[in-house]
Structure 1
Amino acid sequence: MYDFLLGVMLVLSVFIIIVVAMQPTKTQSASNAFLGGASQLFGKQKARGFEAVLIKTTVVCIVLFFGLAIALTRIL
């Protein structure tokens, strides 16, 4: 059982790395340096489409990762 959970945790950790690397950056161009981020204050929007799916997938994977970590420590 321990070896199976450890294998699942390994696969899950690689999947988390891939999902986090696929997320788009939040920075805009050099205009943020001059505007002081005011465009983000008024232009804040909810994530939609692919970005929203990536955020939800990341949260679920990280919760599973920590759940598996706790389960692995209880098994030992």
Structure 2
Amino acid sequence: MALTIVNTLLVIDAIIMIVLVVLQSGKSEGLSGAISGGAEQLFGKQKARGIDLVLHRGTVITGTLLFVLAFLSAYVLQ
């Protein structure tokens, strides 16, 4: 019973995470822009504001929750 609940939450969390990632605006075009945009965000030169900040924090939270639920599903509840 608990495994079914955790797996259902895992699927819902994955769908929410996909939606959050798709809704985020791109920093730059192309592969080189993606690499430099990630580096700028990592080192704090470019801070997200407004809806981008909300989407970024939501992505971090759902990513962490995805990891925890996957761990529970695979190792604890089996």
For the criterion TM > 0.5, the same-fold answer is yes
| Letter of the structure 1 residue corresponding to residue 3 of structure 2 | Y
**Cα drift, residue 45 of structure 1:** 2.5
Output the CA distance in 2 between the equivalents of 1:63 and 1:71.
Answer: 12
Identity of aligned residues (%): 28
Task: Considering fraction of residues, name the structure with more helix.
Answer: 2
Match of 1:67 in 2: 68
Unaligned runs of 5+ in 1: none
Question: Which 4+ residue blocks in structure 1 deviate beyond 6 angstroms?
Answer: none
Output the CA distance in 2 between the equivalents of 1:45 and 1:21.
Answer: 20
Match of 1:54 in 2: 55
Match of 1:10 in 2: 11
Unaligned runs of 5+ in 2: none
Residue 55 of structure 2: SS of its match in structure 1?
Answer: helix
Q: How many residues align?
A: 64
> For 1:15-67, what per-residue CA distance to the aligned partner results, in whole angstroms no more than 9, with x for missing partners?
11100000000016xxx8xxxx7xxx7xx421111000100000000000000
Match of 2:23 in 1: 22
After TM superposition, the structure 1 = structure 2 runs for residues 28-47 of structure 1, keeping only pairs within 5 Å, are 44-47=45-48
The TM-score with structure 1 as length reference comes to: 0.76
Residue 45 of structure 1: SS of its match in structure 2?
Answer: coil
The TM-score with structure 2 as length reference comes to: 0.74
Output the CA distance in 2 between the equivalents of 1:46 and 1:17.
Answer: 22
